[in-house]
Amino acid sequence: MSSVSDSKIRASVLVFYEEDILAISSVLDAFLKKSAARCALLVDKDGHMIAARGATDKVDLDTISALIAGSFAATRALAHQFGEDDFTALFHQGKSGNLQLSLVSDRALLTALFDDATTVGMVRLYATEAAKRLTALFRRKQEGGTPVNAATVDGKAFEEGTSGALDSVFGS
């Protein structure tokens, strides 16, 4: 049993580094290969996308991530009405496309888009497995801490560039 609880992961901030993303991508790729889902997204519960794999070219990832997080948040409130902490998995069925959501460590949502090339049972089976692997990854990250040395981005340039960027969108 890990010493890091889901509640701690939920409450704290996660920082992902290259190796983390490689590991997440590897889990998502393995999931896609086994389940034959069309694409897989890992979405922060606040609505930001963390990683996406598979056929994502026709998908508006920003909007989908926001709606997925909203959908899950609403369903969680619904779960509370039934005395449940969560519905840890959700399934949305369409005519040709379907969506399977699985909770990862109470922090993120594994989302699989799939069609009739596979079945909901297959996707659910492997999504559960992938969610467990991602949860373990999150826990290891939580225990790992922050790297000691890291290079920098020019914060001064960011500070100076803010004004120009806002002017370009909103006018000066």
Partner 1 sequence: MVQINFAQKEIQCKIVYYGPGMSGKTTNLEVVHGKVPEQARGELTSIATTGERTLYFDYMPLDLGQIAGIKTKFQLYTVPGQVYYKSTRRLVLQGVDGVVFVADSSAAKLAENKESLADLEENLKEMGKSLKDVPVVIQYNKRDMPDAMSVADLQRELNPHGLPHIEAIAKTGEGVFPTLKDLSARVLEAVNKGGLGSTRAKPAGAKPGEGAATVVAKAPTSVAAPRPSAAPSHAASGAPSRTPMPAAAAARAVPSFAGSIGAATAVAERPSARPTTSQPQVSPAAASHGEAYAPKSLQDRVVAVSGMSRSGPSGKLILLLVLGAAAAAAAYFVLVVR
Closest CA to 64 of 12, 119, 111, 116: 111
Q: Which stretch binds partner 1 (CB under 8 A): 53-61, 82-90, 92-100?
A: 53-61
Binders in 13-52 for partner 1, by CB under 8 A: 13-23, 25-27, 29-30, 32-34, 36-39, 44-48, 50-52
The interface with partner 1 within residues 67-86 (CB under 8 A) comprises 67, 70, 73-74, 77
Phi, psi of 157 (to 5 degrees): -65, -35
Q: Which is nearer to partner 1, 93 or 159 (CB)?
A: 159
Using CB under 8 A as the binding rule, whether residue 92 contacts partner 1 is answered as: no
Tell me if 96 contacts partner 1 by CB under 8 A.
Answer: no
Closest contact distance (angstroms) between CB of 140 and partner 1 is 7
- Whether 105 and 139 have beta carbons less than 8 Å apart is answered as yes
Q: Which stretch binds partner 1 (CB under 8 A): 83-91, 93-101, 152-160?
A: 152-160
Own/partner long-range contacts of 68-73 (Cβ < 8 Å, ≥24 apart):
68/41, 68/43, 68/101, 68/109, 68/111, 69/43, 69/44, 69/45, 69/109, 71/101, 72/45, 72/101, 72/103, 72/109, 73/45
Which of the residues 108 through 127 are near partner 1 (CB under 8 A)?
117-118, 122, 125
**6 in contact with partner 1 (CB under 8 A):** no
